[in-house]
Amino acid sequence: MDVLLNERSSQRKWKDISISKKIYFLFGGLLSIIFIESVVLYTSIQTLSSVRALVAAEGKWSRAQKSAMNQIHSYMISKDPIHFYAFQKSLEKIKGVQEARKEIESNHPNYEIFYSGLTKIGNHPEDVPGMFYILYNFKNFEPIKKPIEIWATADKNIAELWRVGQNLHEKFLSQNDQEADIQLAQAKLEVLDGRLSSLENDFSESLSLGARNMEGLIFTSVLMSVLLLGSLFSIFVIRFTRELKRNFKKIEVSTSKIGHGDLKERILIDQENELGQIATAINQMV
């Protein structure tokens, strides 16, 4: 009973609201829908842009890794320290990205470390905030979780690459290098190069798949929000126009009867808005 009374009370309040306020309400609702959809669309575009930036970042990481591998190979052949220093420089860039990953996995990440690591390898500073948002907030979401796991595995192989290069450098410095040492280092480098190339491909494919999944999710979210908000707005518009049309029809019919001499005719509009006031005024006139 209380629910029924509350429903009737709500309907009564709606009927008594002035027409101008109802129009403002509908106009405000339309603006709200436009605003919400704009926010959803902007967020969607930013999300996809950030995922694309992550794919580009993988390319920069891959180039740094290939550069390090080429430099250490050149160092084995020439024993020129300049190649070892170039090897170190390339791995320093990757080390910055490794530190960035550790911050993502932390419960209390340091954004400055993340920012420094990602920009050091060549990512545009404006892309970094979006990349951080995606990686940190969706790190447990499978399309993002898997690339991070691949990233962590690649970092372990990079650490091994660093050890191979460092050991080789120490032997060259001590002039205690043997052909067998160089061959062993060569074999390890070939294994690491194969692993890293495979991991790079897995990372790109996994992230691309994640991007496609997110595109589908975003499209569904936008579509559902449009349908939901559009349906609610349509219900209010239909309800308002039907009520307006019904009351104008009452006024038209009653005034026609009054015009033909039926002075007992009364306009029955049980509302306290503009139409109710017009009906009351006409009823008082006759």
Q: Is 178 helix (H, G, I), strand (E, B) or coil?
A: coil
* 242 found inside a domain: no
Domain count, the chain: 1
Task: Provide the domain limits for residue 90.
Answer: 34-229
| 53 vs 190: CA distance, rounded Å | 30
* 173 found inside a domain: yes
Q: Is 272 helix (H, G, I), strand (E, B) or coil?
A: coil
- Sort 116 into a burial class: Cβ within 10 Å, 0-12 / 13-18 / 19+: middle
Could you tell me if 245 and 19 are in contact, meaning their C-beta atoms sit under 8 angstroms apart? no
Residues 6+ apart with CB under 8 A from 55: 204, 207, 208, 211
pLDDT (tens, 9 = 90+) of the chain, 286 residues, equals 444 445 556 555 666 676 777 777 777 777 887 887 787 778 777 877 888 888 888 889 999 999 999 999 999 888 899 999 999 999 999 999 999 999 999 989 999 999 999 998 889 999 999 999 888 988 888 888 898 999 999 999 999 999 999 998 888 888 776 788 788 888 999 999 999 999 988 988 888 777 777 777 777 777 787 788 778 878 878 887 887 788 788 777 778 877 777 667 777 777 666 777 777 777 777 6
* 239 found inside a domain: no
* 151 found inside a domain: yes
Predicted model pTM: 0.68
* 258 found inside a domain: no
